[in-house]
């Protein structure tokens, strides 16, 4: 696809072929050179451990074309560190932070013509992934690994603007086990969430809001995003061992403090839903997805947050602040963006 043919203002969150991806293989006890590929395929042994036993992890981050024309990559060291934790959590070889960042810079530079122009609300999504590639039929970690990074231009998550959606919750589904893999970013968690996710979609909801898998009392992950509630100038987000520590959430809590809010990270009992003024989900894809209504499928209870179809004022403020930093419109006081040279 020529960049002149891309309708930047109407991109969705889906895959588009770009020019190159980068790869790096761990073999004989060391990481090799970064390889550049123009192929969209991976040659894999049919017994590769990722195919049979799920040795896989991934990341998601974005590069933005700023107001000043410069390209900004948002908090990639955080993704690099989480990528290490994920690898360790499924017994894969962790990739050193600096090598991860070098691969990110390289894949963004190689595909620079796919970074959407400023003002379109679009960005370049970067997807790193790691797989175990050793041929194995016995259950044992691989000894060889491959990290691949691909990029694709994506649109703003909300085509019709920043509008609250409806989510549902149910005690009948768990995304992860209490001491399982919930706090790392592995594909298996997503496979395990598809039944609940499709159930929510079939019933007309955007996602399933999970309740903690151990006690079934507290709010947990919201689909594949973190949950937050706002009340009395407080930003409240669940502390749970089955939640993935979102970098967006970490950034929003910092911005909330900057704006004079108090941040609470703790268990949130389901009943507390009644008390929130605003609730939302957060993650790299959308920054904030405001939630207008939560329906409890088990007892028919409904929690309504938006009667007029608009997001709440704190959600709007936090969203605009973070987007502003990513697009170079607001001062990057915390040093979150790396400007690509």
Nearer to ligand PLP among residue 6 and residue 279 (C-beta): 279
76 binds ligand PLP, rule: CB under 6 A = no
Nearer to ligand PLP among residue 207 and residue 261 (C-beta): 207
Give min distance, CB of 18 to ligand PLP, in A. 20
Nearer to ligand PLP among residue 244 and residue 291 (C-beta): 244
Nearer to ligand PLP among residue 103 and residue 243 (C-beta): 243
List all residues 6 or more positions away from 122 whose beta carbon is below 8 Å from its beta carbon: 8, 9, 11, 116, 153, 154, 155, 156
Closest CA to 282 of 252, 238, 241, 243: 252
Give min distance, CB of 58 to ligand PLP, in A. 8
Of 284, 306, 315, 326, which lies in the binding site for ligand PLP, with binding defined by CB under 6 A?
Answer: 284
Phi, psi for 184 (deg, rounded to 5): -125, 160
Q: Tell me the two tokens of residue 287.
A: 């920054």
For 13, 26, 107, the CA distances from 118, given in Å and listed in that order, are 17, 37, 20
Of 226, 242, 306, 315, which lies in the binding site for ligand PLP, with binding defined by CB under 6 A?
Answer: 226
Of 221, 278, 295, 338, which lies in the binding site for ligand PLP, with binding defined by CB under 6 A?
Answer: 221
**Helix (H) or strand (E) run with residue 35 in it:** strand 35-37
Q: Tell me the two tokens of residue 247.
A: 């970098």
Nearer to ligand PLP among residue 223 and residue 292 (C-beta): 223
Instruction: Return d(Cα 290, Cα 311) in angstroms, integer.
Output: 6
Give min distance, CB of 338 to ligand PLP, in A. 16
Nearer to ligand PLP among residue 250 and residue 301 (C-beta): 250
Nearer to ligand PLP among residue 111 and residue 240 (C-beta): 240
Q: Tell me the two tokens of residue 96.
A: 């050193």
CA dihedral (249, 255, 257, 262) in degrees, to 10, reads -50
Phi, psi for 272 (deg, rounded to 5): -70, -15
Of 94, 116, 156, 283, which lies in the binding site for ligand PLP, with binding defined by CB under 6 A?
Answer: 283
Nearer to ligand PLP among residue 153 and residue 197 (C-beta): 197
Nearer to ligand PLP among residue 168 and residue 192 (C-beta): 192
Instruction: Return d(Cα 23, Cα 107) in angstroms, integer.
Output: 9
Give min distance, CB of 81 to ligand PLP, in A. 11
Instruction: Return d(Cα 184, Cα 89) in angstroms, integer.
Output: 7
Instruction: Return d(Cα 250, Cα 256) in angstroms, integer.
Output: 10
Instruction: Return d(Cα 284, Cα 60) in angstroms, integer.
Output: 7
89 binds ligand PLP, rule: CB under 6 A = no
247 binds ligand PLP, rule: CB under 6 A = yes
User: In the range 22-61, which residues lie near ligand PLP by CB under 6 A?
Assistant: 60
Q: Which positions from 164 to 203 touch ligand PLP by CB under 6 A, shown as an x/- string?
A: ---------------------x------------------
Check residue 301 and report its DSSP letter: -
Give min distance, CB of 229 to ligand PLP, in A. 16
Give min distance, CB of 324 to ligand PLP, in A. 17
Neighbours of 217 (CB within 10 A): 13
For 43, 68, 243, 286, 309, the CA distances from 319, given in Å and listed in that order, are 41, 20, 21, 9, 17
Question: What length is written for the chain?
Answer: 341
Q: Which stretch binds ligand PLP (CB under 6 A): 108-116, 125-133, 219-227, 271-279?
A: 219-227
The residue ranges that bind ligand PLP (CB under 6 A) are: 60, 185, 221, 224-226, 244, 246-249, 283-284
């Amino acid at each position: 696809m020529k960049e002149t043919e891309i309708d930047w203002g109407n991109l969705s969150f889906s895959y588009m072929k770009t020019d190159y991806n980068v790869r790096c293989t761990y073999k004989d006890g060391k990481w090799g050179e970064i390889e550049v590929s123009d192929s969209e395929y991976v040659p894999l042994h049919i017994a590769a451990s990722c195919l049979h036993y799920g040795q896989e992890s991934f990341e998601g981050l974005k590069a933005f074309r700023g107001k000043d024309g410069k390209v900004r990559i948002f908090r990639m060291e955080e993704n690099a560190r989480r990528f290490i934790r994920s690898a360790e959590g499924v017994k894969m070889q962790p990739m050193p932070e600096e090598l991860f960042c070098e691969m990110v810079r390289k894949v963004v530079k190689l595909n620079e013509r796919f970074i959407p122009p400023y003002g379109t609300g679009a960005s370049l999504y970067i997807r790193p992934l790691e797989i175990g590639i050793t041929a194995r039929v016995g259950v044992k970690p691989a000894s060889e690994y491959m990290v691949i990074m691909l990029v694709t231009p994506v649109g703003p998550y909300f085509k019709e603007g920043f509008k609250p959606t409806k989510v549902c919750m149910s005690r009948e589904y768990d995304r992860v086990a209490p001491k399982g893999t919930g706090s790392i970013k592995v594909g298996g968690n997503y496979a395990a969430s598809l039944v609940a996710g499709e159930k929510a979609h079939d019933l007309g909801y955007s996602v399933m809001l999970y309740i903690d898998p151990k006690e079934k009392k507290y709010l947990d992950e919201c689909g594949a995003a973190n949950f937050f509630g706002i009340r009395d100038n407080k930003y409240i987000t669940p502390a749970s061992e089955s939640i993935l520590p979102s970098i967006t959430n970490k950034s929003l809590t910092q911005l909330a403090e900057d704006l004079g809010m108090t941040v609470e990270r703790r268990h949130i009992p389901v009943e507390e839903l009644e008390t929130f003024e605003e609730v939302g989900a957060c993650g790299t894809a959308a920054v904030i997805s405001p939630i207008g209504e939560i329906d409890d499928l088990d007892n028919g209870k409904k929690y309504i947050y938006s009667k007029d179809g608009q997001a709440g004022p704190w959600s709007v403020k936090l969203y605009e602040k973070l987007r502003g930093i990513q697009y170079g419109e607001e001062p990057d006081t915390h040093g979150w963006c790396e400007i690509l040279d």
